[in-house]
Amino acid sequence: MTIQTAAKQLTRTTKYKLNNGNWIPAAGFGVYLLEPENCYQLVYEALLQGYRHIDTAMGYGNQKDAARAVADFVQKTDGVSREDIWFTTKISNASQGYDEAKLAVQKIADDVKEYIGYVDLILIHSPLTSKKKRVGTWKALQEYVLDPNNSTLVVHSIGVSNFGEHHIEELLHSDGVTIKPVINQIELHPWLPKLKLREYLTKQNIVIEAYSPLTQGVKLDDPELLALEKKFNVSKIEILAKWAYLQGFVVLLKTANKSRVKQNFEILPPGKESKDALDEGGNLGKIDLDLDLLDALDKLNTGEVFCWNNTDPTENRDEPE
């Protein structure tokens, strides 16, 4: 019997092209809830293991430590430069609005500029404010991208997080908006595949970035997942991570456990820089999952949300003013 698999050529160094021409590494390391010193250690470890993409936020209280780890790693590692590493941070809800966002970018600069010089991506963390604040924030962010020589902070790309189609449409149709978000970072896993929003984002050429692909750990002992792990002889972490990679997402994995950093990164095959990267036919590594396993994962869709108080922010509508 031949086993039917869905496969995708994807390695530890795969990057996706954004709608502004920049390239983002598909594998990202997230640092939510990591205390500052721990964040420094884990980001350093992530970079050592080969991650080239770090995801933090103003609200995580550790963007400075994440940036310091990037700087130290670059300084101590031959052949790696700042430009090889992607650094994302996010504007907190409390800092939304045109004036507030400008102060927030100054705060980001105060935290990270001395270490990493510029930021690859700033996201609006969520749409849970108001139209005025979302659009005001976006207009402020646009100014930094449009003025790459500004003295506050060089920002290469801007995007959104937790935005639904209606939030993005609102932005795209607002006066003064000239830049399209490059990315929408949203919660995605087999229990919450968000097919309709993904179809819209793909049509708009907005890259989809998956957060909480391991369900923040909540579903790791789910009997259905454990049964699949046993039946297909693939670890549950590999199942969930590969599912996300096979959908074509940029994938953010987080662990506070140093040994798991390597384990999680090595789910992907080595990139072309590695001497082990090519198979006998000279082909780069692929990831795959059994088609029957993917079918079973499709059936897990319950719409369960694990972040943001278990309420999907992409579905949020503003209260009438």
Query: In the set 67, 252, 268, 287, which binds ligand NDP (CB under 6 A)?
Result: 252
Pairing of strands 250-253, 286-290: unpaired
Separation CA 321–CA 144 (nearest Å) = 30
Query: Is residue 159 within 8 Å of 123, Cβ to Cβ?
Result: yes
Least distance CB 256 / ligand NDP (angstroms): 4
Q: Which of the 8 DSSP states describes residue 189?
A: B
Least distance CB 316 / ligand ISN (angstroms): 13
Q: Which of the 8 DSSP states describes residue 56?
A: -
What character string, x for contact with ligand NDP (CB under 6 A) and - otherwise, covers 70-109?
----------------------------------------
Q: Does 41 bind ligand NDP (CB under 6 A)?
A: no
Q: Does 256 bind ligand NDP (CB under 6 A)?
A: yes
Query: In the set 255, 289, 296, 297, which binds ligand NDP (CB under 6 A)?
Result: 255
Separation CA 59–CA 312 (nearest Å) = 19
Which position has the token pair 């031959």?
78
Query: In the set 43, 179, 182, 237, which binds ligand NDP (CB under 6 A)?
Result: 237
Q: Shortest Cβ contact with ligand NDP: which residue?
A: 30
Sheet strands (E) in the chain: 5-9, 15-17, 23-25, 27-30, 53-55, 86-91, 118-124, 154-161, 183-187, 207-211, 250-253, 286-290
134-142, 172-180, 247-255, 295-303 -> range binding ligand NDP (CB under 6 A)? 247-255
Helix (H) or strand (E) holding 79: none
Query: In the set 213, 269, 271, 285, which binds ligand NDP (CB under 6 A)?
Result: 213
* Residues binding ligand ISN (CB under 6 A): 32, 57, 307-308
- Catalytic residue from among 32, 44, 51, 60: 60
**Residue ranges in 260-289 that form contacts with ligand NDP under rule CB under 6 A:** 260, 263-264
Query: Is residue 93 within 8 Å of 128, Cβ to Cβ?
Result: yes
Hey, what are 20's tokens? 């502004």
Active site residue 60: yes
Q: 164 touches which of ligand NDP, ligand ISN, none (CB within 5 to 8 A by kind)? A: none
Separation CA 317–CA 242 (nearest Å) = 32
Q: Shortest Cβ contact with ligand ISN: which residue?
A: 32
Query: In the set 95, 307, 314, 316, which binds ligand NDP (CB under 6 A)?
Result: 307
Residue ranges at the known binding site = 125
Separation CA 27–CA 15 (nearest Å) = 8
Separation CA 151–CA 105 (nearest Å) = 11
Q: 95 touches which of ligand ISN, ligand NDP, none (CB within 5 to 8 A by kind)? A: none
Give the count of residues interacting with ligand NDP (CB under 6 A): 27
Query: In the set 144, 191, 211, 243, which binds ligand NDP (CB under 6 A)?
Result: 211
Separation CA 170–CA 122 (nearest Å) = 19
The Cα-based distances of 43 to 69, 96, 258 in angstroms read: 6, 27, 10
Q: Does 58 bind ligand NDP (CB under 6 A)?
A: no
Which position has the token pair 């607002």?
174
- Give the binding site for ligand NDP (CB under 6 A): 30-32, 55, 125, 161-162, 185, 211-217, 220, 237, 252-257, 260, 263-264, 307
Which residues are catalytically annotated? 60
